Amino acid sequence: MTIKEACQSLTGEIVKWRREFHRHPELSYAESRTASVVAGMLRQFGLDVREGVNGYGVVADLVGKIPGKTVALRADMDALAIVEETGLPYASEVPGIMHACGHDGHMAALLGAAQILSGMRDRLRGSVRFIFQPAEEIPPGGAIGMIEAGALDGVDVIFGLHLWSEFPVGTFYTTQGPMMAAADLFTVTISGKGGHGGLPHKTVDSLVIASHLVMASQHIVSRQVNPLDSGVVTFGLLQSGSAFNVIADKAVLKGTVRSFDPVVRDLLQGRLEQTAASIAQMYGARIDMDYVRGYPAVINHEREARAAMQEAEPVFGAQHVGIMQPNMAGEDFAYYLQKVPGAFCFVGAGLPEGPVYPHHHPRFVIDERALPLATEWLCRMALRYVM
Ligand code: NI
């Protein structure tokens, strides 16, 4: 039986597992039921299973007969605080929680690969490590703690995938180099001195100072970042003032900074902090900035991204495998790629006839025909290194 045939014949099971996860979603850092279901199945497949890795992480090794490389495959396990509105017969049974990002499908597809590959153990030259990671959705995320707990020890190369509803089922996309952005968050609090709207000389006007900060920050990307690099500084919130004739004593601004290159990331943060400090000094207000770093950028390694596309061709057909534009969403797979070579890839899961709802939407659905394709690609990636 070929890998393709093995995946097709396992489709019913994979879909059943996915629906089972879909019925029982759990929030980030609380995936206890999910983790024990996953671990139980991996044990049934005969793998060496470690549970409780950085919370609810599960790591399982398939050790081949002959020593060789170790290839890691990763799935995430968490769901979101969303009230499901799909009306599906297997919709969430947990009020207010929904698998609205496809992580249920990631687990099912990877379990399918674990079952198929475990049946080939005698022919494997090396090991396959299956990483089921908690808490992808909420920084600091599960990946970093799993790496600290040894999830990547001995790993030569790693791959992961995201089912993606905005690409139609039957397609596969990735890219060499920057793929998803580093996404940081900041809050600025400006403390001035309030007063009478007709007596501005007796105040320190926080609202005017906030306006200056917003405008001055527009120079950061347009005049301080190399035009051939990319970055975003967005102010998404500005709150200040209470009445038409009162000068505001306080202003609060919140925003996000996005980048791909770590040097650009440092530059954006540094310039934003300097701009705020200079404006504070110029106008005599106090400006406090709380800058929180989210996940770093997902940077695919070139050789491994090429390998991922090569293995995708027999699965999806060469005409359905493409290079995607970098995506400004974040993903903590980034941390694995900082440690070992690998690539993160998107597997199309959109219904060809629509409607297509974005990830994290209450009506988000995937086309389950994507699942055996994802399993097949995962199997092929593993076998590329251990067969
Ligand atoms: Ni996701």
Q: Which CATH number is associated with domain 183-295?
A: 3.30.70.360
Q: Dihedral sign, CA of 314, 130, 147, 339?
A: negative
pLDDT at 201 (0 to 100): 97
State the distance from the centre of ligand 1 to the C-alpha of 136, rounded, in angstroms: 7
The angle at the Cα of 365, spanning 129 to 255, to the nearest 5 degrees, equals 80
* Overall average pLDDT of the 189-201 stretch: 97
Q: Determine the pLDDT at residue 308.
A: 98
Q: Which of 76-80, 113-117, 245-249, 352-356 has the lowest mean pLDDT?
A: 352-356
Distance between Cα 246 and ligand 1 center (Å): 45
Residue 77 CB partners (closer than 8 Å, separation 6+): 26, 31, 34, 35, 38, 56, 103, 106, 107, 132, 133, 134, 136
Give the pLDDT mean for 166-184.
Answer: 96
Which of the residues 26, 31, 104, 136 is marked catalytic?
136
Spatial contact of 206 and 240, defined as CB atoms under 8 Å apart: yes
Contact at 8 Å (CB) between 110 and 37?
no
What is residue 355's predicted lDDT score, i.e. its pLDDT?
87
Over range 150-169, report the average pLDDT: 97
Report whether CATH 3.10.180.10 matches the domain 3-180+297-386: no
Cα–Cα distance measured from residue 123 to residue 115, given in angstroms and rounded to the nearest whole number: 15
- Closest by CA to 35, choosing from 53, 47, 23, is 53
**Structure confidence at residue 186 (pLDDT):** 97
The pLDDT of residue 300 is: 98
Could you confirm whether 136 is annotated as catalytic? yes
Whole-number percent of the chain with pLDDT over 70: 100
Question: Where does the pLDDT of residue 139 fall: very low under 50, low under 70, confident under 90, or very high at 90 and above?
Answer: confident
* Residue 78 a catalytic site member: yes
Q: Where are the domains of the chain?
A: 3-180+297-386, 183-295
How many angstroms does the Cα of residue 171 sit away from the middle of ligand 1?
18
For residues 224-241, give the mean pLDDT: 95
pTM: 0.89
Other C-beta atoms lying within 10 Å of the C-beta of residue 373: 27
Mean pLDDT of the chain: 97
Ligand 1 centre distance from Cα of residue 305 (Å): 19
- Say how many Å lie between the CA of residue 200 and the centre of ligand 1: 50
Give me ligand 1 centre to Cα 157, in Å.
21
Q: Please state the rounded mean pLDDT for residues 121-126.
A: 95
Active-site residue, selected from the candidate residues 26, 31, 76, 78: 78
Q: How far is the CA of 294 from the centre of ligand 1 (A)?
A: 15
Residues less than 5 Å from ion ligand 1, measured at CB: 101
pLDDT recorded at residue 165: 95
Tens digits of per-residue pLDDT, 281-340?
999 999 999 999 999 999 999 999 999 999 999 999 999 999 999 988 889 999 999 999
